[in-house]
Amino acid sequence: MSDKSKILFLCDRGDAFSGLPQGLDATHEVVVERDPLRAIARLNRDRFAGVFVAPQFRSELARLAQTLHKERILEEMPDGVVLLDEENTLIWANQQFQQWLDGTDLLGTDFYSALGRPEILGPDYCPFHTALTSGNPSSSTLRTTDNRYFQVHAVVAQENEQRTRHLIVTVRDSTDEWLHRQKLEAIHRAGIEIADLTPEEVFGMSVEDRIELVKSNILHYTQDVLHFDVVEIRLLDQKSGQLSPLLAFGLNAEATERALYAQPQGNGVTGFVAATGKSYLCEDATSDPLYLEGFKGAKSSLTVPLSWHDQVIGTFNVESPEPGAFTESDLQFLEIFARDVAVSLNTLELLAAQKANTAQESVEAIHRAVAMPVDEILNDSVNIMEQYIGHEPEVVERLKRVLQNARDIKQVIQKVGQKMTPSHAVPASAQVEQHTRLRNQRVLVVDADEAVRNDAHALLERYGCIVETAHEGGEAIYMVRNSGAGYDAIIVDVSLPDMGGFELLVKLKESLEIVPLILMTSFGYDPGHSIVKARREGLHADAVLYKPFRLDQLVNTVESIIASTTASHGIEAS
């Protein structure tokens, strides 16, 4: 390397060293440039003891001084700025652009080669050529082999018509924006695929299998797309406010089994998020007053609500052993993913509800088809049994077994139905209002009208009642006599084919200490004054139903009579 001081000489072709002081080239290293802009690039890179300008360039000294001033401003810009000739050769580059290339001196090389031949993503696939030929600015995006993204914007800088045209190109590093966009797209695809099942897959999977598949997909995408390794999802019980674990990975057993409720205090970050519906970024778990340890050594956490139609249905929590491991971008990504998770969980609930509803309808259809024939078996059996009592003990015993088996058939159907449609599989909005006093209560309905007997089965059995029916009074007496455990309520039409409702009450009082009778009548129709007479015999004041009756009237009346009978026997009502 020469120890001589450098002199920059700006001249036209053929003028090299002409005009220089004699002998200067012997005492100094003379660097010749024939373009003012290239001379600026030289001045920016190297130290020079002096600058000599050929006569033909001296008129441009003022413009050159302005250019040098602008060049110093461009050096301070956060974006890259380069000057290219018509062959895309780098004439000058500011400090930011050179830093992106690790400070390598690539002046004089092709622009695209300097960036490692990047892929041009558009919208203009020849931005520099377009700018030079059209004279209009042009833009495009480049992707390098190391997955960095640069947005370039080229404009023509023409000094005059005789001189060579140049391109001023601004280069902005848009890597973060592109990676952010790609991650959002990946999260969206993952959200769609969480519960993406074909009809064939759905048909062959149980609700439990679907739940496990959704949980597996959530964990897979949380780890592979979001890069979070410690995950916990809890679902909120809207009635109790309890947050039950649905998925937990990387947490210790104590944290997973911890009882948490949607309350802002005393239930950790998870309880706070569920109660407020607000996301929570815990940057330092060791000092955060809300944080409850998820795993030993945890230093930070991020928790967002799972929301469906503005209602919090659960929480999504991730944790890290590093303090301040989560950023605002992580928060945004997790919130977006959580919305898709909530949609998937709701879809899963709808599938479970659809299956439960289908099973429930099937059980009810079977029960409707079986209930009346079984009642006919009961009616025929008690009629025959009454004739053989005292005469054929063996026949009576066999008939009793027939009665019991017929009653067992209906009980089996009800139990199978409960297993096929468990209450947790049915949405709260579709669940029948609970009337616990009616469950397992035995009810006898006596009416000649088959439609009334059918309705009694359909309406009362949905609340857990055990319903049997009879056509007339005599048959009802046989049913009561051979009911075994007796009936908790007996609903009777005021006008039966063989006797009136009052007459049946009197006959039943001969064998029952308390008769839990309810009389049914059409509005204003009571030819035998059965209701008036029955009330004189102790009929409860509420024990009257007017046909056609509403469901709530039927349920409330039956409940009232059961409660009254229970109180009369000195038993505390449940």
DSSP characters for 148-198?
-EEEEEEEEEES-SSSPEEEEEEEEE-HHHHHHHHHHHHHHHHHHHTT---
Contact in structure between 223 and 250 (CB atoms under 8 Å):
no
Angle at 473 between CA 467 and CA 477, to 5 degrees: 70
Task: Give the pLDDT of residue 431.
Answer: 44
Which residues pair with residue 412 across a beta bridge? none
Q: What pTM does this model have?
A: 0.48
Cα 100 to Cα 5, 170, 355: the distances in Å are 30, 13, 59
Contact in structure between 527 and 495 (CB atoms under 8 Å):
yes
Which residues pair with residue 142 across a beta bridge? 120, 150
Query: How many whole angstroms separate alpha carbon 209 and alpha carbon 283?
Result: 37
Query: How many whole angstroms separate alpha carbon 53 and alpha carbon 550?
Result: 108
Contact in structure between 382 and 482 (CB atoms under 8 Å):
yes
Q: Which residue has the tokens 């919130």?
A: 335
- For every residue of 397-428, DSSP letters joined together read HHHHHHHHHHHHHHHHHHHHHHHHS-GGGS-G
DSSP state of 303: E
Task: Give the pLDDT of residue 149.
Answer: 92
Query: How many whole angstroms separate alpha carbon 158 and alpha carbon 56?
Result: 18
Contact in structure between 8 and 51 (CB atoms under 8 Å):
yes
Task: Give the pLDDT of residue 58.
Answer: 57
Angle at 409 between CA 404 and CA 413, to 5 degrees: 145
Peptide bond into 78 cis (omega under 30): no
Query: How many whole angstroms separate alpha carbon 394 and alpha carbon 240?
Result: 56
**Beta-strand runs (E) in 424-483:** 442-446, 466-470
Angle between helices 207-224 and 175-193 (to 10 degrees): 170
Per the structure block, which two tokens stand in for 463? 């609340």
379: how many CB neighbours lie within 10 A of its CB? Answer: 19
Q: Which amino acid, one-letter code, is at 470? A: A
Q: b or e along 350-378 (b: 16 or more beta carbons within 10 Å of the residue's beta carbon)?
A: ebbbebbeebbeebbeebeeebeebbebb
Task: Give the pLDDT of residue 14.
Answer: 55
Show the low-confidence residues of the chain (pLDDT under 50).
Answer: 162, 350-351, 354, 422-432, 572-574
Query: How many whole angstroms separate alpha carbon 433 and alpha carbon 417?
Result: 17
Query: How many whole angstroms separate alpha carbon 282 and alpha carbon 383?
Result: 76
Task: Give the pLDDT of residue 414.
Answer: 64
Task: Give the pLDDT of residue 399.
Answer: 79
Task: Give the pLDDT of residue 285.
Answer: 93
